Structures are given as C-alpha cells and as structure tokens.
A = this chain, B = another copy of it.
Amino acid sequence: MLTVTTQGYERKGYAMSTDDRLSLVLFSGTDDKLQAAAVLTVGAAAMARPVDVFLQYWALDAFRADRILKDHGVSPEAGPEGERAMRDQGKTHWSDLFRQAKDLGEVRIQACADSMEMFHITTDDLDPMVDGVWGVASFFMEADGPVTFI
C-alpha cells in the first residue's frame, strides 16, 4: 500500500519518477557498443532506475537467438589492437549482462516492429530475454522522458 502510494506520487511528479528512467534506443550491433550498453543497463538497474531498451536495426539483428553469441565485430575505430584488448579482457558477455540487469531491476527489452519487418523475423527468432515488440508510438508512450541513442 505504501509502495503504491509512493509510486503514484512519484509518477505524478514526473521529475521524481520517469526522469530517472533510462530509455535506450539500441541501434548499433557491434560487440563493443553492445557491451557498453549492457554495462550502462546493469548500472542503471543497480541504482533502481527503470530501463527500457528498444532494439532497432543492427542491434536487433544481434539479439537473434542463433547469432547472439557470435562475433558481431567492433567499431572500425577500435583497430586490431583495440579489438584484441577488448576480447582479451574476458568480461561477461553483453547478453549475460542484459540478463543480469533484468534479474536486478525493472528492465524491459523490446524489439522495434519496423526493424522486425525489415529482417523478416518474428519473436521466435529472438533471444527469450526480449520481452516483446513495440512500434515507435509504443516506445514514446513509455519513454516520455530523455532518450539515449547508442
């Protein structure tokens, strides 16, 4: 009861509530950016900030069940030396970090309907951690605050 009341209060205030929501439009599908996005998502979830991840284009492609663990390359600027440093660090894979974030807090991962259509895929093709499919309108219904594009 207390929780409900508090939540209602925060919502109404907006500033006290949704502004701390992290709305990530995840566009890039290289392992370095996905790793950075996953770390930010875990960090935000650990701070009790709700996170919405909206998967578009090459990021959505990377969340396909049959490719999620494959090598998605890195940004061209990494260079061979940078890529080696990244691979050698042996951090938890970004897909596991996103799963941890979902266990940790209020984290939703949604696929962009347009991008689904582009790749001719259905939710069956995606990793189970993806919660569903949103159109851009749904995204903006939920993400009524700041947007971070990665």
Contacts and interface: CB of A to CB of B under 8 A. Distances in A.
Given A27-B33, A119-B85, A136-B40, A11 B15 contact: yes
A100 interface: no
A30 interface: yes
A58 B43 contact: no
A148 to B, nearest CB: 5
A16 B17 CA distance: 11
Contact of A19 (B39, B42, B117, B145): B145
- Which of A14, A19, A22, A139 is the most central at the interface, judged by chain B CB atoms within 10 Å of its CB? A14
A28 interface: yes
Interface string A75-102: 1111000100110010100000000000
A147 B51 CA distance: 12
Contacts of A36: 25, 27, 56-57, 149
B86 A118 contact: yes
Interface of A: 6, 9-20, 22, 25, 27-30, 32-33, 36, 39-40, 42-44, 46-47, 49, 56-58, 61, 72-73, 75-78, 82, 85-86, 89, 91, 114, 117-120, 136-137, 139-141, 144-150
